[in-house]
Amino acid sequence: MANQVDAIVIGAGPGGYHAAIRLGQLGKSVICFDRDEIGGVCLNWGCIPTKALLHVGEVARHIREADQIGLVVAAPEVNREGVAKFTDSVVKANVGGVNQLFKANGVTFAYGEASFTGPKSVSLKKRDGSTETYDAKDAIVIATGSAPVEVKAWPRDGETIINSDDAVRLKKIPQSLLVIGGGVIGLEFATVYTRMGAKVLVVEMLPQILTGTDLEISKTLGRILKKQGVEIALSTKVAGLEKAGAGVKATINGEYTSGKDETREFEMALVAVGRRPVTDGLDLAAAGLSTNEAGFIAVDAQRRTKVATIFAIGDITGAPLLAHKAMKEGVVAAEVIAGDASSAYDPIAVPNCVYTDPEVATVGLSEEEAKAAGYELRIGKFPLLASGRARTMNEHDGLIKLVGDAKTDLLLGMHIVAPQAESLIGEGVIALEMGATLEDIGLSIHPHPTLTESIMDAAEAAHGKAIHIPNPKPKPPAPVAATK
């Protein structure tokens, strides 16, 4: 006989655990399944452990630069085991926290491989090999997330050819590292391993790192990373990759090599060419579901699939593949399942953060996207070099950029390269959601001295009123054609 619950959540990552907890809060009996650990990729292999490693690297940088602010300290030495212990402790604390929240909200958790047997039923294959079936009275939520894309020509061994899951475990610190892919994951690990002492080359086949990001912001970050010692090869591809002794041998070709094949050896290669949705093993067909050509599941604004009793959230629903997007979708799905017909996923914009050093954070339209959409633009920029607070932190590289509509003065996008950018961008999220203008931001009194006031400075610069930087001279009016 099948186990009976109100709702089933398949996947215990950020989207899944948010859905399960909110369902519990709303009085539903709910069970959450995952074949791995509570917290999914984000807590165990992604967001949390990578940020712990990045923090270690940031501290190491500050120690190396301590002489610049009058401190005499010994050069930092990386204790790999100690760093791994710190990272593991952070992961365990976060996973334990979610486990406690499950218990506090009446959520049952079970390990296993879940697969559909119908639109309201699931079979769970447990770790001990036994199988149980579950029926959901109300609905089932799919929150199975994504996994690194594997390149068949470059078989992963977890030692010399690795993916992001391997990279976060820090089995060793290579002297040289090839990073294939100049996206978020590739650049974050390039930062981590550079800070740990590795010589890193990032190869990106497209003309810019962080493709889709505001081009000026992308170029600013690229320039900073190169100053830090990260090699970046744009419009270049890895034509071949093979094991060679204790390391790997790569053949690269493109703009970086003047169009010629160049062979280089590395101790390790990280393949970071993207992520794919995870729906394998779910037997979606048994529930009447299917995916599109890219492997994603189509949903409506309430995260309901074409099968009324099944909802899907997070990475399996398509870009952007971000934990905070999944979290919001999980809450929406839970509220709809519990009877709130008004709940919907309808953000004006979703922020994106890249935890390099300095960080990049963006929300809304880039300059290029706004132009392509037909807007006449008003742009305000403020370099971090002009920030008094940044100087007190011994930070000099960065940029705050606001993109606005010249006709209405509405903010269209905010783009930041700076320390703490991931926190600063919150102002842009609220401003976009509330329909703020550049003038609104410039008129709002920001605390001094802070990095946040640089956003105000950028808004004032958009109107030629900046105090802390020279304002660009206004463009002369276009000549008026003579009339007869």
List residues with catalytic annotation: 448
β-bridge mates for residue 418, sequence order: 359
Sign of the dihedral defined by the CA atoms of residues 12, 13, 15, 17, in that order: positive
Using CA atoms, how far apart are residues 460 and 381, in angstroms rounded to an integer? 9
Whether 183 and 53 have beta carbons less than 8 Å apart is answered as no
Q: Are strands 146-148 and 275-277 parallel, antiparallel or unpaired?
A: antiparallel
Give the type of residue at 224: I
Angle at 372 between CA 371 and CA 375, to 5 degrees: 45
End-to-end CA distance of the chain: 92
Using CA atoms, how far apart are residues 48 and 144, in angstroms rounded to an integer? 18
232, 255, 83, 228: which is closest to 169 by C-alpha?
A: 83
Using CA atoms, how far apart are residues 399 and 341, in angstroms rounded to an integer? 42
DSSP state of 342: T
CB contact set of 412 (below 8 Å; sequence gap of 6+): 364, 365, 370, 375, 377, 403, 404, 405
Using CA atoms, how far apart are residues 38 and 26, in angstroms rounded to an integer? 21
Cis peptide before 174 (omega within 30 of 0): no
Angle at 195 between CA 194 and CA 198, to 5 degrees: 35
**Tokens (6 digits) for 72:** 């005499």
**Tokens (6 digits) for 109:** 């958790």
CB contact set of 283 (below 8 Å; sequence gap of 6+): 115, 116, 117
DSSP-derived secondary structure for 193-246: HHHTT-EEEEE-SSSSSSTTS-HHHHHHHHHHHHHTT-EEE-SEEEEEEEEETT
